[in-house]
Structure 1
């Protein structure tokens, strides 16, 4: 009875007498850096898409126009909301969404107040 052999490696040729292909990397080696890799495409289900938190982009643009100091911060949180929505991180998305909304409202109110005060002084 012949001795039992270990199973061949995953990428190893089935027969020891057959050499590996000319361009093939050695068995167990990581893939070459030049090798094209398929991007992971994560598709969200319709149920997940229903959880999208609003990013208030139009309101944020108005906030940047009216009062840029708070509007620029609102852009940052709006972007974080978009990224969290894309990664299905719903809790972070809703937290950043509410921050964006509040910053937008405060920026617009402060900006309109400054415009009103400026018009009264002229």
Structure 2
């Protein structure tokens, strides 16, 4: 008895369906073809974090707790400190280290002055009123 050759596709995984011709639009609910631009209504993915752990170590402090205390004690300077604290956080996220450290310093000084002025007002009020 002579062995008969096996069919060419025996043991092979089933063949995938042939892709539709280039001119046909994809069927509704079908995933987009590889390399195709995203559909007009499809949401875009947000950019991934590209900062390394070494970059994250360079974050400038935004003095959030001091800023909150400054807003409570002397709001005119405290609100300005909130603005610079926000700018510090945004610069940190965008890896703009020089801008982050400049704004961080401004935030710290404004916080200290606002807290000192606020405590001075409370002191004067308690002593003389």
Per the normalisation by structure 1, the TM-score is 0.75
Task: Give me the whole-angstrom Cα distance separating, in 1, the residues matched to 2:126 and 2:94.
Answer: 46
Structure 1 residue 35: Cα displacement: 2.2
State which structure, 1 or 2, has the greater radius of gyration over its C-alpha atoms. Answer: 2
Which aligned segments of 4 or more residues in structure 1 are displaced greater than 4 angstroms? none
Partner of 2:80: 73
CA RMSD, 1 decimal: 2.1
Alpha-carbon deviations, 1:68-115, whole Å to 9, x = none? 100000000000000000110000000000000000000001101111
How many residue pairs were aligned? 102
**1:93 paired to 2:85:** no
Per the normalisation by structure 2, the TM-score is 0.71
Partner of 1:54: 61
Task: Give me the whole-angstrom Cα distance separating, in 1, the residues matched to 2:56 and 2:24.
Answer: 46
Find the residue that maps to 1:72 and give its secondary structure: helix
- Which aligned pairs between 1:1-122 and structure 2 lie closer than 5 A? 18-23=21-26, 32-122=39-129
Structure 1 residue 21: Cα displacement: 2.5
5+ residue gaps, structure 2, are 1-20, 28-36
5+ residue gaps, structure 1, are 1-17, 25-29
